[in-house]
Amino acid sequence: MKHWQDYMRHELDLACEKTRLGELRSFLSGVLEPKGLSDIVQNQLILAVEEVCANLIIHSHGCNPNDTIKLRVTDDSQKIIFEIYDSGEAFNILEYQTPDLSHVIKEKRKGGLGILLVKKIMDKIEFESKNSQNVCRLVKQLKSK
């Protein structure tokens, strides 16, 4: 009998609370650990996914614990795909204008850096919104050894 994990598809439903972000990181560590990535790359991927989730939790769902977002991780030998599903107000990460660092400093704004990190870390970012279901897809190519 095959365990579902053999299919290399992992899913997590996350309640929209900031305190759940630690749970998200543990989940992602478990999923990514067997991939044999460097500590730095594994941390980058966890960070990028958390940034997108934190953004949705805070801005699209107003930290309402009754709302959930779904994370699905699939991978093959060449890439890892992280899909984050939610049904809140659509946040199109591709249309978001990432701020200049100098503006962040001047305006003393504490946000805005997260999406910049996601864009620097991931190789491909896609966003779809259909029937009030949004999906943000983050793709990381794996380097062949």
Q: Which stretches of the chain bind other proteins, using CB under 8 A? A: 18-19, 21-22, 25, 39-40, 43-44, 47, 50-51, 54, 57-58, 101, 104-106, 108-114, 116-117, 120-121
Please give the single-letter amino acid code of residue 127: F
In this complex, which beta carbon is closest to other proteins, that of residue 41 or of residue 135?
41
In this complex, which beta carbon is closest to other proteins, that of residue 11 or of residue 17?
17
Among the listed residues 134, 35, 33, the one whose alpha carbon sits nearest the alpha carbon of residue 84: 134
Query: For residue 141, what are the β-bridge partners?
Result: 79
Q: How far is the CB of 2 from other proteins (least distance, A)?
A: 33
Integer-rounded Cα Rg, in Å, for the chain is: 15
Q: How far is the CB of 112 from other proteins (least distance, A)?
A: 7
Under DSSP, the state recorded for 73 is: E
Q: How far is the CB of 88 from other proteins (least distance, A)?
A: 16
In this complex, which beta carbon is closest to other proteins, that of residue 5 or of residue 105?
105
Please give the single-letter amino acid code of residue 60: S
Q: Which two tokens stand for residue 117?
A: 């990190």
Contact predicate 66/45, CB 8 Å: no
In this complex, which beta carbon is closest to other proteins, that of residue 19 or of residue 133?
19
Q: How far is the CB of 128 from other proteins (least distance, A)?
A: 24
Q: Which residues contact 6 (CB under 8 A, 6 or more apart)?
A: none
